[in-house]
Structures are given as structure tokens and as C-alpha cells.
Amino acid sequence: MKGIGDKVWDRLIWNSQHNRMGWGGNAGIVDGINEEELNRFLIKVEWLHTELKALNPKTIWEIGTNYGSWSWLLYNTLEEFHLLTCDIVEGSREEIGFINEYYQKENVEFFHQSSEAFLKGRSGADLVWMDGNHEEEWVKREILWIEATKAPIVWIDDWSWWEIRKGVEESGTNYKLDRMSPNGDVAIMRLEGVSQ
């Protein structure tokens, strides 16, 4: 895949190894903490790359910017896109600045906001990458804030975590599980009754 080994990739790996505490111990989809983890994540990244190419979304929102792995993936997958991404950690801004500068584009816009403030009153996403606070009670509320924006498709990371699954399943959301990634780690959800 294009992008593996570029300067942004190196920085993602460095952040995952030396700076994950900057985000409360949270790492991104590119995680080089050890070889086994990196290989596991690479399988997921390749799958996401293929799915994104097929869907070709234009306006994408991300909950949980972290050190910018998703931005790296989009720059190396889609020709045209606008990513609006939010995180409660201000340090994500510098990472997004570095990534935009490296690719010499301004396709990624960072919001230093919690998902609640970011989502409320917003509309127009083709795809939401839900990957922020993983606590069950938060997930339960967040999926409903996303639903209120009428985003037709949500991809949920870490679907294999019971907290995430339970939060979504008990929220009463109208997003229905379409399918999962081969390792069960990402769920593709679609909003019932919305044309896509």
C-alpha cells in the first residue's frame, strides 16, 4: 500500500512507540508497539483501504483523531475527500498540521472538541469513523448523536470490545450491522430507511 514507509508513517510509528501517553495511552490504527501488533494492524489497514476505495466517500468525519493514522490512510487511499476530525487532545492539531503539510493539501480539518460538541447540529457526512471514547455509556449516547446528523454509514472501530458492542446494541439506534471486517474488529453500520 502507498504511504507505508513515508515520513508520515514513520511519525505514526514513532508516536505509537514513544508518545501514546500523549493521548491517554490510546494508539491509532497504525500501531508499531511491537511486530505482532503492527502486523495485526496492517491487515486491518489493508481491509479499510480496500473498503474506502469501493465506497469512495467525499465528506468523512472521524471521532478520535489521535496522532492521525486515519488521515494518513485517507491521503493514501482517496483522490478527493474532506475529513473533519475531532479529539479532546489538543496535541492532535500539530500532528494534522504535519500530515497536511507533508501531502501538500488541506483535506483534513481538526476540531479540538469532544464528540458531543462536534456532532451536535452538524450534518452532511457520507461516512463517520467512530473511534473515540470506548466506554459503554459514552458509546450508547454517541451513536445517537451521530444518528441525529443522519449520516448514512458509520464504521465502528474495536467492535470486538464488548463495551462498544453493548453500548451500540443497547442504545436503541436505527443503525443496523451490515457486516464486519474479517477479524471482527470493525463494524459497518447502515442507517435504516436512508437511501445511500
Ligand X SMILES: C[S@@+](CC[C@H](N)C(=O)[O-])C[C@H]1O[C@@H](n2cnc3c(N)ncnc32)[C@H](O)[C@@H]1O
Alpha helix (H) ranges present in 56-91? 69-75
Name which of 183, 182, 177, 123 is nearest 155 in CA terms.
177
User: Across the strands, what pairs with 176?
Assistant: 190
Q: Which of 45, 62, 119, 159 binds ligand X (CB under 6 A)?
A: 62
Question: Of 121, 187, 180, which Cα lies nearest the Cα of 150?
Answer: 121
3-state secondary structure of 62: strand
Residue range at the interface with ligand X (CB under 6 A); choices 37-45, 101-109, 128-136, 166-174 = 128-136
Does the footprint of ligand X cover residue 89 (CB under 6 A)?
yes
Q: What is the 3-state secondary structure (H, E, C) of 147-190?
A: HHCCCCEEEEECCCCHHHHHHHHCCCCCEEEEEECCCCCEEEEE
Q: Does 87 sit near ligand X (CB under 6 A)? A: yes
Using the rule CB under 6 A, is 132 a contact of ligand X? yes
Position among 19, 59, 107, 114 found at the interface with ligand X (CB under 6 A)? 114
The smaller minimum CB distance to ligand X, of residues 137 and 194, is found at: 137
Which residues lie across from 62 on neighbouring strands? 85, 129
**147-186: which residues touch ligand X (CB under 6 A)?**
none
CB 64 within 8 A of CB 104: no
Return the H-helix or E-strand segment holding 61.
Answer: strand 59-63
Contact call for residue 77 and ligand X (CB under 6 A)? no
Each residue 14-33 as x (binds ligand X by CB under 6 A) or -, in order, gives ---------xx-x-xx----
Asked if 57 is part of the footprint of ligand X (rule: CB under 6 A), the reply reads no
Range in contact with ligand X (rule: CB under 6 A) among 87-95, 120-128, 175-183, 188-196? 87-95
95 lies in the site for ligand X, by CB under 6 A: no
State in angstroms the smallest separation of the CB of 134 from ligand X.
Answer: 7
Neighbours of 135 (CB within 10 A): 12
We find the least distance from the C-beta atom of residue 193 to ligand X, in angstroms, to be 27
Question: Could you list the residues that contact ligand X (CB under 6 A)?
Answer: 23-24, 26, 28-29, 62-64, 66, 69-70, 86-89, 114-115, 131-133
